[in-house]
Amino acid sequence: MRDVESAVAGARPEPIAPTLPMRDAPGAAVPRSRARIFAADVPFGEDAWGLDAALRPLAELVAHKETEAPLTIAFLGGPGSGKSFALAALLDQIEASARNSERGAFLKRIAAVRVDAGRLDGDAPVALAGLIYETLGASFPEFVSSAADAVRDPRAVAREIAERLDDVRRRLDTERQSLTEIESRRARIFETMLFETAGSKVDAYARANRASIESRLEGFGITGEPIRNFKSMVRDLAEAGGPIARAGAALRALWAFKGQTRLLVTAIALSLVGLGLGATVANQSTWLGWLQGLNESLAPTVAWMRAHVEWLTTLQHVAYAGAAFALALNILRAFRFMQPLFRGIALLQSDVAAKRHDIDGLYAHQMRRVDHLNSEVERIARLAAEADRRAGGHGERPDLHLEPSPFDTGSLKLRAERFFTSLGRLLQRSERGSAAEASKAAAPERLIIALDNIDALTPEAACSVLEATHQALAQPGVVLLLALDLGRLSNVRAEIGQRLEKWIQVPVRVGPDAGALDARGLVAQIIGRRARKAELAGQSGPIDWTLSDEEAITLAALAPVAGASPRAVKRFVNLYRVVRPQAPEFKAELALMLALDLGGTGAERAAVATVLSAPGGVLVDPAQFGPRIADALHQADATDLTRAALRRAAAIVRCYSLRG
């Protein structure tokens, strides 16, 4: 494939970078800029390699519901080529796909664990299990706890969970009692502020005006301890309600207390007397004539009464004045009685407002604690039911084991192996379960392990870590992301290349190994100038992963070229799905170059290199590739291939090649 690489050098589309400024003339002033003056060697920042087109299909592949796992994706390249950057960028795109709720084809709960290979040097499975347990414990505690419990004696786990359940229930009862006490304090807040809180505003007011309050209460016939009586009346009025209730209380003060009724009766009686006297004056001729006709001896008396009838008018005015005085005195006494009560209500409400804020905050906090403990009880109850089921039927479950022997030096490794097996089983159950069960279980639907910094290990240690990691994580629902220098490992152990070819389903080359160095884009990224990112075709919507009938025919015709084994054919079809979104208009060319990279002979690859090195972009005769390739292209009815399209396809396929 080296010949093909040289033939397609520069064929891969590069990211559009800004034109660098012309060299300044001598003595020219250097403009001030806020751009960076030193670029750190960190695995994040802007993409200077144009990886978006290559990473987007991988991100959707990992997050897609229909992707079968285990799956291993490896970023291959030399030191400093950007493998760690590509790995981090892929994780970001995967998280973005999972967050996009409009795309129903993607999983929602994807857990990612980033692992520094330097922490796995030694007993890699044990260290990896510990890292996964710690990382997932924050987001999916029940899931990781279930995976860890599954490797232990189910009877011991059942006992521990039962004890936890009893402890949480006791805590829940205690918190509920505290909540009931706080609710009682909220209900008795007026009484608490009046009778149990010394130094409150209403208490200070009552004690400062004790003499006045006592005299007014006694004037209304209310005897006993005046401060307590005053506070009781303030409480009753405050609890009665708003302005309407207070207006009713004020009206009651006009007649319901000692002396008030007598004044009202007096006012009414005097008013009636006044009315009677007025009627007498108005009808004096009638009743005086009647008296005079009744008896002649009353004539002098009648004459005197006629001469002094204005006295009745004076008495009428006196009666009306007395009625008004009695009514005014009634109202004045009621006002003097209610005024300190209304003042006490205002002070009480001020005290209660400040106290209620504290009690409401305490109540809300206690409610959250009770709700949390309720959820915890439900969660642990589910775990207890599951643990009881497993403990009762552990003899029928070959995947459950008793505690490893304390005398077995490999017990930790055995526990780690069982932990990974349990993880795969739980992931498979979560992915296949209903949405309600998955939400209830709070388990991830897919687990991503990103293993970086492998090059920091010695080649021998790196090979050991890769072998242990692959063996541990070859589980359903697990996606393994690697960043490694394949040539460095192959130089030490020849067989590791064959093993990696078997383990890695999707290889992705990064850096100069994937194409020509884009110096302009890289320099622009280093000095802080934003590159203009090319718009990718079909970027707005999800990738269409379905294959047409024509593509199926083409793949079937070229599959023998890719390899004779089922594994080779599966790799061929899977990689074709991954590379197709980058050049959907060149389907046949992509399939051909991919088949040649996976299983083409040296002569066939040399023939392709010769064709691609020729100038121009005209149609290519399939016979130039050799009889096997020509026959496959005729079967696929894909003979109208152009040199330019083949160069483009070869550049794309080069990024997904395991060949050094």
Report how far residue 178's alpha carbon sits from residue 171's, in angstroms, rounded to the nearest whole number: 11
pLDDT digits (tens, 9 = 90+) for 126-174: 888 888 888 888 888 878 877 777 667 777 778 888 898 999 999 999 9
Nearest to 344 by CA among 186, 260, 226, 258: 226
Q: Note the CATH number of domain 52-152+406-504.
A: 3.40.50.300
Residue 582 has a CB neighbour count (10 Å cut-off) of 23
Say which DSSP state 638 is in: -
**Which pLDDT band holds residue 340 (cuts at 50, 70, 90)?**
confident
Identify whether the C-beta of residue 456 lies closer than 8 Å to the C-beta of residue 119: no
What residue segments make up the domains of the chain, in order of their start? Answer: 1-17+518-533+549-660, 52-152+406-504, 187-370
CB burial of residue 376 (10 Å; 0-12, 13-18, 19+): middle
What integer is the mean pLDDT of 522-549?
60
- Specify the pLDDT at position 396: 42
**387 closest CA partner among 159, 71, 69, 176:** 159
| pLDDT score for 10 | 45
Nearest one of 225, 191, 218, 203 to 343, comparing CA atoms: 203
Q: Which is more confidently placed, 119 or 633?
A: 633
Q: Measured in Å, how far apart are the chain's first and last C-alpha atoms?
A: 8
Rounded percentage of the chain residues whose pLDDT exceeds 70:
80
> How distant is the alpha carbon of residue 632 from its chain centre?
52
Tens digit of pLDDT for each residue in 220-258? 778 888 888 888 888 777 777 677 777 777 787 787 777
pLDDT tens digit sequence for 96-108: 877 764 557 788 8
Residue 539 has pLDDT above 70, yes or no: no
pTM above 0.85, yes or no: no
Instruction: Mention every residue, 6+ apart, whose C-beta is less than 8 A from residue 10.
Output: 515, 516
Q: Which tops the pLDDT comparison, 403 or 573? A: 573
